[in-house]
Structure 1
Amino acid sequence: MQQDPGNPMPYPQFGYPQPPPVPAHSDPSMYMAGPQAGIYNPAAQAPLSPNYYPQQGMPFMPVGGGNEQNNFSMPTQFLQNPVMTNMAMQYGHSLMGQGKEALDRELNKYVSTSRIKYYFAVDTAYVAKKLALLVFPFTHRDWSVKYNPDEPVQPRYELNAPDLYIPAMAFVTYLLIGGVSLGIQERFSPEGLGIQASTALIWALIEVVVIWVTLYLMNIQTKLTSFDILAFCSYKYVGMIVAVVVSFIMPSAYHLALIYVSAATMFFLIRSLKIQVLPESSRDAYGENNASFIGEGSKRRNYLLVFMGGLQPLMMWWLTRQLARP
């Protein structure tokens, strides 16, 4: 038997065939382990099956196969399909519509959205006339509010109707003017502006609550709602802005401007609420036999009007005393 130089240890004495030559290979996995260490393993050259782990023989999912690539391409194909895109958009619009209806239904349990929209139904002509009326109310003659039997007349068609657009814009402008005033006096800070806004908002809510409780305790019949009271009491921010702006031009004229706008606000508030706190139709309904009761109701109404009117100058001074330029 010819000695194979690649395998120096043949086993002819045991009748075994001579093993194939062992090529020089640097990978240890190409050789058998155990008692036959060092013998070349031809099976190691066979590629591993993609469906089994070589150690445990367990099936596994291939990594980086074609299925994964198809899965990643599915969203792109879905978005490129116009039919599926339209269906998704219609479904999204349907969900948004259902959510809006649910939100409106929950809000209507506490606040009527249609009622809030009424207070913001204004136009440019109404805003200009109402601002002029707030600053110069002494020349106004007709303070009655026209009513429609079907629905209330919107503020854009009725100058004497209350609105919340001017109070809201005046409140924001008051905060901006206050920030400018504090900046001129070198006392501006974000924290101070936040305190100014929160203080004004808290006092406005307290004023509305106090007036509403007073109406209840004095048993005064009125058609005023909480939004009406908030609107009439918030018109004072227009006069406050005028007083602070005057202090920019002439600091010594602040108190004179405050006195004038306070008197104008009082006059406007009393004349506007005089026919709404206890309407004439409600008084006539009692007849002549209830004259004493009507007289008592008129006294309570006058007390309430004086209280609401006298509260405005005090609030205007309190909220502008630190903003006016000294």
Structure 2
Amino acid sequence: MLTRSLLYIIHRSMTIFVILCCICDSLLKFLIHLLGNNRDELYKECVAALQGGLLLNGKDFNAIRNALLGAFQSVDLKLLNRLEMTGEDKESGSTATVMFIGNDMLVISHIGDSSVVLSRSGKPEVLTSPHRPYGSNKVSLHEIRRIREAGGWIVNGRICGNIAVSRAFGDVPFKTKKDGMLQKGVEEGKWSEKFISRVNFNGDLVIASPDVYQIALGSDAEFVVLASDGLWDYINSSDAVTFVRNQLRQHGDVQVACEKLAEAALDQRSQDNVSIVIADLGRTDWQNLPLQEQSFVYELGQALATIGIVSLGIWMTSQLSL
């Protein structure tokens, strides 16, 4: 039996929503982690594209992939049309990660900077890569090249110096209103009229085409952690898996594990929104598993932050000295 929990923390004045949907039937277990407010449209499009889940039973990955690509593109088109027609916040955007969990297979459709990690007998397996216009990994290099080929540029890891996520729903200024984005940049003094006269866009700078993954699930598959970069920028996948594993060993409550993991990220001085979904795949007898040891550096940071006797500067110094 699959159990899952959701936690979201709104940090400072930024607004971010995390939505979890779960449908349990003979065909699939369906989870959505969506930063934004387009969950209903995405849910409907995905279910329709996958023929109510029947397409997953056929195990034709190319058909599944094409269906999800079409669903994401349809949601994005509808959102763009609505934003332009209603005059709503045209700079709003949403990232999304959709997971279909079956008995022996996990399918993920993903856009944005969240990441999914699977625990296999306590060993982390990073399943997705964040869509960011910076870094040296294969996905980041592909995104940088794609943006430049579309006529855009990267400044300090941001598309045209503005946005640090390269795939998302919405974000009108980087899709259908790129000329307006250029003119706004002139008004704000970011660049000159002469500069924009040389810019020639030939594609969208931000896209909603998902990366689609298919992962085999064996008896060693324990749980999935899906979280925003507010977690992963401060706690690595190995420590996160060990942390959640120990939490489930102690009490078996995924909601408590979510809360404690988010607290751990904030104790590490995370300055971003922390959004977490944990899905226990129901294959592990947690009470009979031994506890794992966290890394010494991680435990030290946790202890110091918990008792509240050090400042950020002292904490950083302690990390560097080990």
| TM-score interval, smaller chain | under 0.3
Higher helix share: 1
Higher relative contact order (CA 8 A, sep 6+): 2
TM-score normalised by structure 2 residue count: 0.24
TM-score normalised by structure 1 residue count: 0.23
Instruction: Answer with 1 or 2: which has the greater Rg.
Output: 1
